[in-house]
């Protein structure tokens, strides 16, 4: 797993050049948000169960057919698997937030997901909506704590939604 710093340094190392103003500005921006990123991760860690529970409650309220016979969350086992997946998305988004880089999402979550979801006949639209709801719950919790960090919270969740939406994972 690489972070913003490693990615920037590696890019310039491959070119065999010194860091220019653009690279230094990127590094400076990352370091300026370091303490805020830590606060956000602390909030996510301390409220992870609540965040997943709230996002899933909203998802099932919006799409109750998921819980009915034939729905992808019907049966206790499938419901638990959906909650587990939401927790995975939340955890890996938190890694991307602290790293300041979305590459971890490709390495650990998105690569291979198409095959897995196709083999399990998992519909993508509710998954994408669940990820969006995770983001919305976090933003609300941050607002409740008077923590303004939307600019880097949105990125990993939007990245996952965009990447999943671009793939034709549905049946």
Q: Count CB-CB contacts under 10 A for residue 142.
A: 19
Q: Are 11 and 67 found together in one domain?
A: no
Q: Count CB-CB contacts under 10 A for residue 62.
A: 13
Q: How many CA atoms lie within 13 A of 96 on its CB side?
A: 25
CB 120 within 8 A of CB 140: no
Q: In this structure, is residue 131 part of a structural domain?
A: yes
CATH number (domain holding residue 131): 1.10.490.20
For the chain, what is the domain count? 2
Q: In this structure, is residue 47 part of a structural domain?
A: yes
Predicted pLDDT of residue 113: 82
Q: Are 73 and 151 found together in one domain?
A: yes
Q: Are 57 and 100 found together in one domain?
A: yes
Q: Are 62 and 130 found together in one domain?
A: yes
Answer yes or no: is 82 a known binding residue. yes
Q: Count CB-CB contacts under 10 A for residue 82.
A: 22
Q: Are 50 and 81 found together in one domain?
A: yes
pTM of the model: 0.90
Q: Are 86 and 104 found together in one domain?
A: yes
Whether the pLDDT of residue 41 is over 70: the answer is yes
Residue 14: domain span: 1-32
Q: Are 76 and 8 found together in one domain?
A: no
Q: In this structure, is residue 171 part of a structural domain?
A: no
Model confidence at 114, pLDDT cuts 50, 70, 90, reads: low
Can you tell me the distance from the alpha carbon of 127 to that of 92, in angstroms, rounded to the nearest whole number? 15
Q: In this structure, is residue 151 part of a structural domain?
A: yes
CB 81 within 8 A of CB 126: no
Whether the pLDDT of residue 105 is over 90: the answer is yes
Average pLDDT over residues 69-93: 95
Q: Count CB-CB contacts under 10 A for residue 23.
A: 15
Q: Which of 113, 138, 155 is nearest to 55 (CA)?
A: 138
Predicted pLDDT of residue 88: 95
Burial of 15 (0-12, 13-18, 19+ CB in 10 A): exposed
Predicted pLDDT of residue 138: 98
Q: Are 80 and 116 found together in one domain?
A: yes
Q: Are 16 and 78 found together in one domain?
A: no
């Amino acid at each position: 797993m690489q972070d913003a710093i490693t990615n920037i340094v590696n890019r310039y190392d491959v070119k065999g050049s010194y860091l220019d103003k653009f690279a230094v500005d990127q590094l400076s921006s990352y370091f300026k948000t370091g303490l805020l990123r830590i606060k956000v991760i602390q909030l996510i860690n301390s409220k992870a169960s609540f965040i997943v529970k709230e996002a899933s409650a909203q998802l099932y309220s919006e799409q109750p057919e998921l819980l009915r016979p034939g729905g992808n969350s019907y049966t206790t086992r499938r419901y638990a698997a959906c909650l587990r997946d939401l927790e995975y998305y939340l955890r890996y988004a938190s890694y991307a937030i602290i790293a300041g880089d979305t590459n971890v999402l490709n390495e650990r979550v998105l690569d291979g997901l198409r095959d897995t979801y196709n083999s399990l006949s998992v519909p993508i639209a509710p998954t994408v909506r669940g990820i969006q709801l995770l983001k919305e719950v976090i933003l609300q919790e941050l607002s409740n704590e008077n923590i303004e960090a939307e600019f880097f919270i949105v990125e990993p969740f939007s990245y996952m939604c965009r990447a999943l939406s671009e793939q034709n994972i549905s049946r």
